Amino acid sequence: MNAKRTIMLGVFIVGTLGVVLSRFYLNIQNEHWDEKRVAVEKAYENSMMTKATKVDFFYGDEAFQIVYGENKLGQSLIAWVNDQSVHTEMTEGAFTEAGAREAVLKKAATSQIERVMPGKLGNDYVWEVFYKTKDDRGTRYFYDYYSFKDGTYMDTYRLSLH
């Protein structure tokens, strides 16, 4: 009888802990999901976008929600959304994520690309490529920036050694 009571108590504790942790996770994520929802709504209201497929977050000099989507003709576009504005670019004819990856690997063939995403550098809409390179002194991280429209190399930010 004592073993049965111990098992029931253990099941109750694990169940309660599961419910509390899942509620905690949902409360934390709700704010993030709300930001994505608001960004998509702004993109719909202030651009030709009628279908959103993905939302990323860009943190540079200005923070943006990057909304990937399509217009009513099925053409792909990307919207940079923040509190002050919505800027959209059609992806057809623009420099691509694959092009940005290729540009970095041409420059530093042994690099490992961590992330590529649209962003903004100064007044220019860009592809930001975050990557790392290992050498004799350690691992160094870099941000390269390429013009979103034509892929022109713009700048590299080098982070300290790790």
**Residue-wise DSSP of 86-116:** EEEEE-TTS--HHHHHHHHHHH-TT-EEEEE
Domain span including residue 53: 2-90
Q: What confidence tens digit (pLDDT) does each residue in 2-16 have?
A: 888 888 888 878 888
Record the pTM: 0.78
Q: Are 13 and 56 contained in the same domain?
A: yes
| 144 exposure class (CB count in 10 Å sphere: 0-12, 13-18, 19+) | buried
Residues whose CB falls within 8 Å of the CB of residue 8, separated by 6 or more in sequence, listed in order:
none
Query: 67, 39 in Cβ contact below 8 A?
Result: yes
Q: What confidence tens digit (pLDDT) does each residue in 73-120 have?
A: 999 999 999 999 999 999 999 999 999 999 999 998 889 999 999 999
Q: Based on the structure, what is the number of domains in the chain?
A: 2
Instruction: Tell me whether strands 49-59 and 63-71 are parallel, antiparallel or unpaired.
Output: antiparallel
Q: Are 12 and 52 contained in the same domain?
A: yes
Q: Assign residue 27 the CATH number of its domain.
A: 3.10.450.40
Q: What confidence tens digit (pLDDT) does each residue in 49-70 have?
A: 999 999 999 998 899 999 999 9
Share the mean pLDDT of the chain: 89
Q: Mark 119-143 as b/e (b = at least 16 C-beta within 10 Å).
A: bbbeeebbbbbbbbbeeeeeebbbb
